[in-house]
Structure formats: structure tokens, C-alpha cells
Amino acid sequence: MRTDIYRNSILEVWPNLDDAKEQEDINPNLLRVLSLNNKIIVTIDIEDETAQPEFQDRAVIENEILEGNIQLTEYVIPRIALPDHKLNWKDVMIRDKVWGYIEPTVTGGNATDIFKKRLRGVIIDTISKQFNVSKTLIRTNLRRYWQRGMTINAVLPNYPNCGGKGKPRDGLGKKLGRPNEEGKTDPDLAGINITEEIKKNQFKKSIGLWYNKRDKKTLYEVYELMLGKYYKAGIDADEGIILKPEYERPTFRQFYYWYRKERDINEEYRKRYGQRKVNLKFRAIEGTFDNQSFGPGSLYQIDATVGNVYLVNRKNRDWIIGRPIIYFVVDVFSRLIVGLYVGLEGPSWIGAALALENAASDKVEYCKKFGIDITNEEWPSFGLPERLTTDRGEYVGNKPTHLIKTLNVKVEHLPAYRPDWKPFVEKQFDVSNEIYIRWIPGGILERMKERGESDVKDKAVLDIHEFETILIEYVRYHNKHYLPSYKRNDAMVADDVRPTPVDLWHWGRKNSLGSLSNVSKNELRMNLLPSRKSRFTASGIKFNKELYTCITAEEESWRFRARNGEKIDVEYSFDPRDTTRIFIRHDDGEFEECYRLTEQHAKFIARGIEVRWEEVLDIIAYEARMAKKGKSDNTEQKINLIDKFNNTVKSAKASTTSNSASAQKTDIKIHRNVSQQEERSERKWGLEGNDERQGTNNNVVAFPKSNVQNNYVAPMDHTELLWDALEEEE
């Protein structure tokens, strides 16, 4: 028999059967354990609609369990365990609203105060004033939360148990609503009821066609347009459109009632005014971020922008590769730039993840790659924040969900086109542009250039590595920059903290503020670097037309096994900033670094020159374009070659006499010997420049020339005949 008592345990308490008159109708009381310590157990009756938390003596409860008067049981409410997509959207909305005002009370270190009757009224009164909610409703929802298991879904409304309240009614033929004056005397003139067909095919379509548009027609103008489209009796040549009688068409009051009941105000404002104007002028003001950040790492802001400068390729500096994508990560508490990333691919999850990885990494090692020596005190940021604020761009989707599950980083999405909701990171883009753009060739100083001015693209000289070096120097400048508008709190004033980002960070860390979490490199790589799945082939892992392998693969002969038919599937991660290595993930979750097969890689990239992933893609795309052009040139050259073949054959046919075929075949050997002699005579070797030296002396004594005519004829070469004789003997 179970005797251990835990939070949320269900106690089945049976009354004294000796005192009961009718034992058949006796049911046990079910008590849920809300809280417990060594002496006290707090319980609530889960079936009593007026129940409140009660304090029980733990020793008495445990003794009753041992005697069998109280039993530990289970009580399951299936609806509480349903996921959100199985619930009604309205129920979820009400649940979240209720949880919003009871969460601070039922969670945290003071959650047990609400159990005390003396404090409960004070707490409920505070919640009622703060959130403008009735005390009765607060008590009902608290009771529901305790009785149903103390989860978020425990405060779901009981609408499934309700009747048809709020459901639309058709009237069963009778006109609904207040009758008009004509209808009081003649029921036939009372008007029409608004059916589902009218709502869907006329009202809703009219709102979409004319009201939710940027020209901002009034609701009455839309009503008039609807009547002209759907309720015309005919068209007169002189008068134009003739409408049906008033009692056969909906009134403006009916149209307005339906509009007010069914309107989606967010959708309406978005379509009438545009998303940007809605975000800037109509959204609720939530306050400032300073009140939400209590120390270094409690809240980071991240965002991306397109840099106002054109860059060149590191492999070929004559190639202009366009403008870079810049990511900044800023700590709200100290205004410290804790991380950055510069890439070429558009704002994406990869860039955002690498910016966050940079924020959590050692900056001394990072700066050393760019030839910059710093100390930890100069750029002290490390680790992951508690919360990360971003817009609804890179961090929306399935990929960022593991930030909460594995890295314990809570992602807060802000609406798009709201730079005022990310003021600190947005300000860095403006200030950094003002500082470095005017000094960089290829920088865009103005939105439009004047006629006759040279194109800024022609002035581009920096590659992405050099540009990132400039940004690092800007970050060093900013982190030591005095912030005149920073509002110091009383503790900062007492300690006389200079309002510079690096000093504010050190002060917050010294006073144990914030909630940074330290993570290893492998943890960052495992959760932030982009990953792919591939098959290990006989040549290794193919990535960006390069081949990689690892020590484990070589020791276990993966390439040999793959060559002989074994299928080896692998998953690997890669760092777009450095394509010299990738990281393979083994089945046990461990990472292993893979290196390139140098004999395959040498013909693509020279040793000692490391390029980024985006630059490799740029080179591959360029090589593909060149290959396409080369293929076209090959086709053209081949056509010309065939044409030359045909011309040569045509000329040969014209020069050949038409002898009998049998005579040509019998004289092949004789003709071959003659041809050999002619070929040797034409291709014989001699000393170069012999003809030019005929007239020079060069201290050579010449023999006297003989007048005897040379009639010598070389004997016929019978070598071919000898070879034929030897072959016949064999």
C-alpha cells in the first residue's frame, strides 16, 4: 500500500461508517495535497464548489493512512492534459488571461502565502485592483487551479459543460430584434432576418471588398455599396439602379450589429492602415526595457541589418560581392555589445544563431583571429542570457525551439517593423553607420547619388574579413564609451559607477546580478551551428564540393566499407565562418571534428587561405557560370572542327583519281614503301639554321666541291617484306 505523500497527491477520505444511516449513499471525500512540510499538509476538497485550502496535521494524516481510513488514489481530468491545438481557441485565450493574473501569486517563493486565510483576502484584493478583475472571479479561478492539479490548463473555462448561450438564432421565421414602425401595423413589412448565407456571402464579402482597404471608406458607404451589388430590383435607363423595398433588404443597424459582433479589429486596422503604421501608432505601450532587465545576461536584444558598404571577394578582389549582413547582440542592462556576426547570406536562422554563439564565446580567442589582442576585462561578455528579444524573423519556426529545451534561453518575439521595441540594438546600427561609413571606401553615404557621381561599387576595396575587423574595433570603442543618457539606480550612484557599458557589466557581475549561464563549445555547436544529414561515401563526406573525413572514420575504415556497398548515414554541423572543418555527430551525441582531404581540396583553395562558407558558395556559383560558358564555347569549337574535317575530306576526294578498287588493293605495299620514302625525305632532321649559316665563315674550312654528278640511288627497303615472311612462318 502506498503511504508516501507528495504535492498533488489525492487523498481518499472515508467518513465514519458507524455514524452513517444509509451506507449505500456514502461517498469518500477527495482531497488534493497543495503543499506540505514536516508538520503541515495543505489540502482542498476537489469536489466542493466552495472549498478553500485547509491545514492538516501531517502526523494525523499519515497515521490515518496506516490504519486504512485514508487511501492514496488518482484523479484524472482528461481535458486538462489536452494540447493547445485540441482546445477551442477561445478557451485558450481565456486560460492565458486568467493565468496572467494568478501566476505571480501561485508561483515563486511566496506561493504558500495564498493558502493562509488571513493573507488570502489581501492578495486577492491586490490582484483585483491591479488587473481590474472581480474578487469573486479570482477566487473561483484560484479554487479551480487548486482543485484540478495546479497546472496552466487547470484554469480552462467550463464552457464544454454549458448550454447554447451566445449561439446565434435564426428566429424560426419571426423577425428578430426591435420591430420597425411599419412592422407594427403590417407584419409583412417587418423586415428580414440575417441568415448565415447573408452574413457569409454579403456582409463578410462587402467588408473585405470595400471596408478593409487602404482607401478607408466609411462603414455606411460600404453598406450602400453592398445594397447596390446584392439588393437591386433592376436597372432603369434614366434612373439607374433601382433597389428592392426596404423591408426586403437588411437595415444599416443590422449590418452594423453584425460588423461589431464579428469584426477582427487587428485585421481591420492592419488592412486599413498597414502593418507598420499599426505597430507604431495603434499598439499598446508596454513601458521600457530597463524595468525588465535587472543585471547582465537577464535580457539580450538581437537584430540584423544590411551594411551600407560594398565588399570584395578574398579570392579575387576584382569581384564585388555586395553588401554584408550585420548582426548585433546587445545586453539591455549594461548596453554592452556582447556579440556580433557578419555574413553574406540574407537575415536567417544561421546568422542569428552564430551571433548568439559569438555572444556566448570567449572574445579574446575570437579577436585573435583578426590580429587584435584584447583582455577579458575589455570585452567581458560570455555565456547565454536568460531571455532573448528578437523580432518575428529569424527566430520564428521550429529551429529556435531547442533554445528553451536544451539551452534554457527564453525567446521573446516582438512584432515586425517595431524598431522602438528594440531601441538599444537598433541604435547601434545607426551609430555604427555614422562612425565607420564615412571612412570606408565603398560606403553608402546617402540614399541616392547625384548625376555624374561615380558608383560607390567601383570604390569597394574591403573584403568581409577586413570589414569584420573594423566592426570589432567599433565594438571596443562602444563598450568603453560614456553613456550620458543612461539612468543609474541608487546603488550605482552609491558605488559611483561610470555609465560605460563595460563598467556597468563589471558592476552587475560583481554584485551577482543577472542570470548568465555558462556553456561549453560543444554545447553551442550542438545546438546553434547549422546541421545537415549526408551519407559517408568512399571519398568521405561531401560538403560544398569538398570532401571531409575524421579520425574515427579512418580508424574504422568507413571509406573502404562505403566503397564496398555499406551504407553509412551521418549528421554533421558546420561553421559558415570557417569551412576548413565540420563536426560530425555520433550516435551517442558526441561531436568529432572532421578535416578536409587535402589531396582533394588543394585544387580548389590554396593552402593558407581560409574562406568563409558564403565565399565558397560564391566561388562555386562563379565556377558553374564559367563552366556553362565553357560548354557553350566547346560546342561552337566542335562544330568548327567537324566543318574542317568535312572540308579536308572534300578536298581529298577532289584530288583522288578514280582507279579500280582491285588495283588499289594489290598495290598497297608498294605504295606504302614509296610513301615512307617521301615522308622520311620531308621530315628528315638537320641542324637548325643551316641555311642561314651558308654565307658565314665561322672558322670552318670547306672541302672543295666535286664536279662529279651523284647518281646514287638508295636500295629498296625490304623490311616490311621480311616481317611478312616471319609472320607466315609462325
List, for residues 432-445, the tens digit of each pLDDT value: 555 555 555 655 55
User: Is 467 inside a domain boundary?
Assistant: yes
- Three-state secondary structure call for residue 160: helix
Q: What are phi and psi of 40, to 5 degrees?
A: -120, 145
CA of 440: how far to CAs of 310, 437, 443, 535, 578, in Å? 10, 5, 6, 45, 25
Q: Are residues 319 and 380 in the same domain?
A: yes
DSSP 8-state secondary structure symbol assigned to residue 384: B
Q: What is the pLDDT of residues 485-512, one digit of tens each?
A: 788 888 888 988 999 999 999 998 888 7
DSSP helix, strand, coil percent of the chain (3-state; round to 5): 45, 15, 40
Q: Are residues 191 and 225 in the same domain?
A: yes
The Cα 671–Cα 523 span in angstroms is 83
Q: Are residues 111 and 223 in the same domain?
A: no
Q: Are residues 558 and 499 in the same domain?
A: no
CA of 390: how far to CAs of 299, 329, 380, 413, 428, in Å? 11, 10, 23, 5, 15
* Contact by Cβ (8 Å): 34, 151: no
Is pTM beyond 0.75 here? Answer: no
User: Is 678 inside a domain boundary?
Assistant: no
Helix (H) or strand (E) holding 594: strand 591-596
User: Which residues of the chain carry a pLDDT beneath 50?
Assistant: 163, 417, 420-421, 446-451, 600-608
Q: What's the pLDDT at 432? A: 53
Q: Are residues 478 and 540 in the same domain?
A: no
232 bridge partner residues:
243
Residue showing cell 464579402: 205
Q: Are residues 110 and 210 in the same domain?
A: no
Q: Are residues 348 and 465 in the same domain?
A: yes
Q: Which of 596, 100, 97, 516 is nearest to 294 (CA)?
A: 516
Q: What is the pLDDT of residues 390-444, one digit of tens each?
A: 765 565 555 556 566 677 788 777 655 455 445 555 555 555 555 555 555 655 5
The residue from 281, 301, 333 where one domain ends is 281
Q: Are residues 214 and 269 in the same domain?
A: yes
CA contacts within 13 A on the Cβ side of 64: 17
User: Is 576 inside a domain boundary?
Assistant: yes
Q: Are residues 498 and 537 in the same domain?
A: no
The Cα 304–Cα 272 span in angstroms is 29
Q: What's the pLDDT at 725? A: 62
* Number of separate domains in the chain: 5
Query: Which residues, other chains included, contact 519 with Cβ-Cβ below 8 Å and sequence gap of 6+?
Result: 360, 383, 384, 407
The residue from 75, 102, 121 where one domain ends is 75
Q: What are phi and psi of 507, to 5 degrees?
A: -65, -45
547: how many CB neighbours lie within 10 A of its CB?
A: 18
Domain hosting 53: range is: 10-75
Q: What's the pLDDT at 507? A: 92
Q: Are residues 347 and 440 in the same domain?
A: yes
Helices 89-106 and 117-131, axial angle in degrees (round to 10): 130
- Strand ranges in 139-276 using DSSP code E only, listed in sequence order: 232-236, 240-243
Q: What's the pLDDT at 215? A: 84
Q: How far from chain centre, in Å, is Cα 456?
A: 32
Q: What's the pLDDT at 601? A: 46
463 bridge partner residues:
312
Q: Are residues 586 and 456 in the same domain?
A: no
Long-range residue pairs from 43-47, CB within 8 A, at least 24 positions apart, any chain: 43/11, 44/143, 44/146, 44/147, 45/147, 46/10, 46/75, 46/147, 46/148, 47/147
Our CA dihedral for 141, 143, 149, 151, rounded to 10 degrees, sits at: 30
* Pairing relationship of beta strands 337-343 and 325-331 according to DSSP bridges: antiparallel
CA contacts within 13 A on the Cβ side of 79: 14
